[in-house]
Structures are given as structure tokens and as C-alpha cells.
Chains A and B, each alone.
Chain A
């Protein structure tokens, strides 16, 4: 029987199959500084980490993005300081490799997984974070879990799981200039909705993803959770293998060849059946931004704010009305007439080298008119970007060049958008209060955020490209 990529990985990891539920083996687990609840629960039950080598930890959510060299003393918030301290203590106590705040490999958990080769095709991977879907871009089955399930993975390296359904989203065609993975995934979520993938694993297929670099694929899979999906996946191919080759935790020598042979047979077989199928025309996707307070409230940059009264679905209408109140926007306004107060470039969605390059290409030789900052997705990305001189482009344009962390994405480390201010952000959630109390978020690609930084309003980046 022809099988999907997901089914192949699932079947290779089922230990006990009880029909409606299976005991699934978890190859690898990632941890971040918010994991203290799980460690606390583990201690309370007197349990140990069963396979510490199969976990990797990094401090990202609570770390400051400036003044890090001054160490913990510089973390003003006492709770956050405690989180960062506990992070190192828990890691050391359980023998888990830890990239602490000032470690040269520190970074956002979903950036360092692929970057170090910890994330590989064909594996099952968990992390106590919803954007774990990111790692599926490497051809893994990766999904976010809560603190209790994280405790289980630490204690047993297994999880009882219901088998999710499968959804294939095919995007054929060719993306236009100025259109990136972010625009593709926003267009997808606008089409299927924030609950469109609930209970499903999405496989992204079609020529658009085949042509996409690893960074773009990671952006797309990252936001699968914003469509409600448990995971997003892209079949591994030469792009994946080239990206992975030589990375720290990737197999080496003869083992690399063995691994490669296994990875090459992972892609979905011809004729395999998905529970649902959706398709989009890649040629028609424009730079896309959100106007509301959920990622599905997104439109091409050329559009106007819709009138909620025109929405057939009562729930969506009510949501849009409250979103427009929160965002202080009126139906009929052109998106390009929306003025921006802050710009934030970074996060596990768009904080990789390619993302920074795309933003820098727009900013080069120009000046920004609004305040903003760039936080690279990892300390490695920071070094790579500096080696290329990208930091100078950002600084000369007038943006701050910071250290790596989640920063203004969830505003847990003290970096936030002030109340009532409107941000052009490369992050993944535009929920009320996500980037700070009363903050208004417009999600967009790094290039679009750079364009907004220059003009001070939402701008079609294609107009600034030579």
C-alpha cells in the first residue's frame, strides 16, 4: 500500500498499538527555559530523565537581548532571572546538554534544532512549545506538547498518542519576486482558517516547496500550528540533505550514507491517500500581511480591510469586529495606508540567515523612519550575519542589532511593543496582547517588515525592489 511521509514515520515509531491509541517512541526532545514546570513535576514524582542524550536545551524565552555579557545580574526581572538560573540547574542535574544564556550555540529552540543537525529527517521530535511544528520542514514528525506530556517524554521517552489525520496542501507554480515562505503560509492560513488543520498533520507539497530553501520551508512549517495543525511536514530532498550535511549532530562518514539511504525512501509514495487535500496557486500569492488578531485574518498587501458585515460566518464576523476595535482599524482602509510605530525582525519563524538577508537587501543604503530592532534566531545566525556585514546594514539604517532570543515575539523577556503601538513583526502570532499589553501586531515577511520600517507604513516591498 502506498504510504504518506507521515505514515512511514509513524509506523516506524509505534511501540504498542491499541487501535485508537498508540505508544509512540520519541527520538529527540528539545527544551527551553520555560520547561521548569515539567522539571518541577518530575522532581515531585521522584523521577529521573530516562535518556538525557536524546534531549537538548537552550535558553530563549526569558533571556534579555541586550547587555547579556553582564550575566544574570543584568536580568532585572527577578522571576525571569530565576527561570534562567533554574534552566542551568535543571540541565546540569539531569545531564542534559544545555545552551545557556551566554553559550556560543544559544538560540531559539526551533532555530538551533535544525542548525545543529539535532533535527533530522524521519525522526519523531517533541518540545514543550507549539511551534515545534517547525522541525517538520526537515521531514520529521515534530509536535508541541504541554508541561505534563513533556514530563512524560523526559521520564519515559514515549507518549501515548492518537493518530492524527493527514492533510496535504499543494502549492504549485512559482513565487513572484518579493514573495517568501511567510507569504505562502499566511495565504494558506487565510484560506483554511486557524482551525483548518486541527487534528491533522499537514504535508506541504508542490513545486513551490520543492524550489524553496530550507529557511523558507522552516517558516512555513513553523506556522502550521497557526492553522491548528499538530504538525507540518515537507518531504526531505537534496535541499534538506545539503543543509544537514556536516552539522554537529548529523550522522557522519559511513553512517551518513546509511542515513541518506533511509531518508531517500521517506517521501510520500505515489497514490498515497490523504484524509483531506487543499491546493493553492503559487503564482497568485502576493506579499501577505495580517490585519486582525488571528493569523487567518490575513490579506494580500494590495487589499483593503474587509467589512465584518460581509462575513457569512457569525463567529468570524464577531471576531473580526472585535479585532478591528482592538487594532483601531476601519473597514475599507487600504492596508498600505496603515501607519506603523515599531518594527521587529527575528523569531523562530523568521530569524534565520536567509530572513535577515532578505530584510537587509531592502534596507541597504536606506534609513528607517520608525524604531525597531533585529534579534537573530540564534547566536550562530548572529555570527554568520555579522560575518556578512548584515548587522552594519541594519545599524546604518537605524535599527538596533540585538542578541538572540524570542524577544518581542511573546514579550516574556522585557522586549515588548508599548500599549497602543502598531508593530510590523516577522513573528507568528498577532493575538491580542501577544507582543505586550495593548500592542497591535501586523504579521509579515522580513522583507515586508523592512519596507514598513523605511516608509513608516505597510508597504508593498516590490515597490522598493530594484
Chain B
């Protein structure tokens, strides 16, 4: 996994609360294979980005010139609630979005972002609202994010401290692979299994 340390990128404000993963990627695209050549970016926010005839909706933020290169989303509460589809993280990542700033996240989606080397940065809604207003006022503005110091620098130079769990922070900074981390504990796992299944053999 690619480590996440710092990021400076165009940020798009998404004011709506409860942006569910069905919105981020509609279910009908989850059957698509994801390859290096063909990522999931074409399906990102598909029903918000395109009308029923497949034409771009000009009023949707990612269709507007300054935001076509969006690398950060500043969202409202409960971002990524709903379905566990990791396709939501794939679609953002393949588009080039590596960080979502929001006051809160759906649990499973939060884990999915981490698993894909994305940063789900938790920032109080009042601060998110300020950032969203600033980004809206000057389209195409960038935000700078530094994971080590857990800071987001706004368009006006103001610095905000965001929250991230220390274990996830370390994993992102180092780009650690979870399977590798688990397998380091193999002797402990095997010892556990011996005891566990001796007690409950019907589960083995």
C-alpha cells in the first residue's frame, strides 16, 4: 500500500449530510472488474454526475472545470453510510481523491478508506462548514493536509487539527498491509485456535 504522508490538492465541498455509498457508486457498477487500466472512476457519483441519457449534469460539482481535478472532498456528517461496498473507495481513489474530510463517517466505509490508503479525516462540522464555504467561494482552491501533524491548512492559511485514530495513522504513514500485520501473530493465532476449538469443537 502506498504510504500517506502529505497531500495538497483541489478540494470540493459536498455540503449534504449522509452521502451514502449507493450515491458514491450505484450498485449496478459493482459487477465491473477493476484493473490497472480500467479503474472505477467512470462510475464515481454516477447518478449525480450524469443524467438519464448519460450526459454530464453541468450543475454537479465534479463536472465544473475548477473541480475536475478534485483530490480532496470536504463533506457533511455521516459520509459513506450504508452499504459495505469497497467500490466506493475504489471509485474515489481511481478518480484521484485520496482524502475525505468530514465530521463523521459510516464505520465500514471508514475502514475501507484506510484499507485503500485513503485518509478519512475527522473534523468538527463547524470547521468543515467554514472550509466548504471558502471552497465554494473560490472554486478550484487547494487544501494542504499533513498526516503526521494531523493538520489541514485552509485557503486562508488557517490551520485545523483533525482526528484520526493513532493505529490507523501509523498504518497510513507507513503504508502497512493488514494481512502482513496479522500473519506476524501466527503462533499466537494457532495457540488460540487450539484452545478455542478444544472447547468448542463444533465450530472448527
Residues of A within 8 A of B85 (CB): 34, 146
Complex CA–CA separation, A38 to B196 (angstroms) = 27
Residue B108 CB within 8 A of the other chain: yes
Given A149-B115, A158-B185, A160-B181, CB of A198 within 8 Å of CB of B192? no
CB-CB contacts below 8 Å: B113-157 with A:
115-116, 125
Residue A199 CB within 8 A of the other chain: yes
Interface hub of A18, A54, A148 (most chain B Cβ within 10 A): A148
Complex CA–CA separation, A319 to B20 (angstroms) = 12
CB-CB contacts below 8 Å: B154-204 with A:
165-167, 178-179, 181-183, 185, 188-189, 192-193, 196, 199-204
**Are A34 and B28 in contact, with the CB atoms below 8 A?**
no
Complex CA–CA separation, A160 to B196 (angstroms) = 18
Complex CA–CA separation, A434 to B23 (angstroms) = 9
Chain A: minimal CB distance from B18 (Å): 6
Residues of A within 8 A of B84 (CB): 128-130, 144-146
Residue A192 CB within 8 A of the other chain: no
When each residue 145-187 of chain A gets 1 if its CB lies under 8 Å from chain B and 0 otherwise, what string results? 1111101100111111010000000000000000000000000
Residues of B within 8 A of A152 (CB): 178-179, 182
Q: How many cross-chain pairs have Cβ atoms below 8 Å apart between A and B?
A: 174
Residue A388 CB within 8 A of the other chain: no
11 sample A-B contacts, Cβ–Cβ < 8 Å, listed by A number: A15-B192, A20-B165, A21-B167, A62-B31, A77-B31, A130-B83, A145-B84, A156-B189, A198-B104, A315-B125, A431-B20
When each residue 29-55 of chain B gets 1 if its CB lies under 8 Å from chain A and 0 otherwise, what string results? 011111000000000000100001000
Chain B interface (Cβ within 8 Å of chain A)? 15-18, 20, 22-23, 26-28, 30-34, 47, 52, 76-78, 81-87, 89, 104-109, 111-112, 115-116, 125, 165-167, 178-179, 181-183, 185, 188-189, 192-193, 196, 199-204
- Other A-B pairs, 7, CB within 8 Å; known A25-B192, A129-B84: A27-B203, A146-B115, A151-B179, A160-B178, A198-B105, A294-B18, A315-B77
Which residue of the partner chain, among A147, A250, A319, contacts B16 with CB atoms under 8 Å?
A: A319
Residues of A within 8 A of B183 (CB): 155-156
CB-CB contacts below 8 Å: A41-90 with B:
45, 47, 53-54, 62, 77, 79-80, 82-83
Residues of B within 8 A of A262 (CB): 199-200
Interface size for A (C-beta < 8 A) is 75
Given A146-B112, A433-B47, CB of A259 within 8 Å of CB of B18? no
**Are B22 and A433 in contact, with the CB atoms below 8 A?**
yes
Residue ID in chain A nearest B15 by CB atoms = A318
Residue ID in chain B nearest A255 by CB atoms = B202
Chain B: minimal CB distance from A404 (Å): 18
Chain B: minimal CB distance from A235 (Å): 19
